[in-house]
Amino acid sequence: MIALDRSVVPECHPLHYLQMATEKMSKAAFEALGVTTDLFSHVAFSHAPYHLARRDVARALGYKDFNVYRDFLRRAAPFFRRVDELSPSVGLQTPGGAATDGPNVEYPWQARNAAGALIWIAPAERGFGLLAQIERGGDAARMVEFVRTLLDRFDAVFP
């Protein structure tokens, strides 16, 4: 196996893994909590701030102050949504955004170049900006730490 410097790995690859892992993790958490979900939907992680804003979950994740935990989930909710929007089945929730005609981390999509001609854009050719936000810190980075902690403590959070 060849190890590459992260700076040469297209942003779409780690974001694709993040999107898939958070979707599956969220569905498993919702199942453990008895929350009814659509197993075929790729929109899951953006529901986590609402379903996991519980005192027992906060305590199991190591939060001593529930208000701090709840406030983090509220502030970070847009980042949770951005992760869901990386899926080609969700797409950007903007006019014209959809699974097949907008930026996503998994499949190429069509767009128009400056001359108006249709072209194909591969995810590896596009920057998504989310990794840079995560690397800068703040709530985007705390969201990733939240995911790591939830995965590490999953059995304790959802016995």
Does residue 101 or residue 154 have the better pLDDT? Answer: 154
The 10s digit of each residue's pLDDT in 76-118 is 999 999 999 999 888 665 444 445 567 899 999 888 899 999 9
Provide the pLDDT for residue 6.
65
State how far the Cα of 70 lies from the Cα of 68, in Å rounded to an integer: 6
State how far the Cα of 13 lies from the Cα of 108, in Å rounded to an integer: 13
99, two tokens:
């699974």
State how far the Cα of 147 lies from the Cα of 159, in Å rounded to an integer: 18
State how far the Cα of 48 lies from the Cα of 23, in Å rounded to an integer: 10
Q: Is residue 139 part of a domain?
A: yes
89 bridge partner residues: none
113, two tokens:
């170049």
User: What pTM was computed for the model?
Assistant: 0.86
> What residues contact residue 44 under an 8 Å CB cut-off, 6+ apart?
22, 23, 26, 27, 30, 37, 84
Q: Is residue 5 part of a domain?
A: no
Q: Is residue 2 part of a domain?
A: no
Domains of the chain: total: 1
Q: Is residue 107 part of a domain?
A: yes
Q: Is residue 3 part of a domain?
A: no
- Percentage of the chain beyond pLDDT 90 is 75
Residue-averaged pLDDT of the chain: 89
The 10s digit of each residue's pLDDT in 2-55 is 666 666 889 999 999 999 999 999 999 999 999 987 766 788 999 999 999 999
Provide the pLDDT for residue 21.
96
Please, what's the b/e burial string for 139-155 (b: 16 or more CB within 10 A of its CB; e: otherwise)? bbebbbebbebbeeeee
pLDDT at 68 exceeding the cut of 50: yes
The stretch 131-139 carries a mean pLDDT of 95
Provide the pLDDT for residue 79.
97
pLDDT at 123 exceeding the cut of 90: yes
Q: Is residue 44 part of a domain?
A: yes
Domain of 22 in residue numbering reads as 10-157
State how far the Cα of 8 lies from the Cα of 37, in Å rounded to an integer: 37
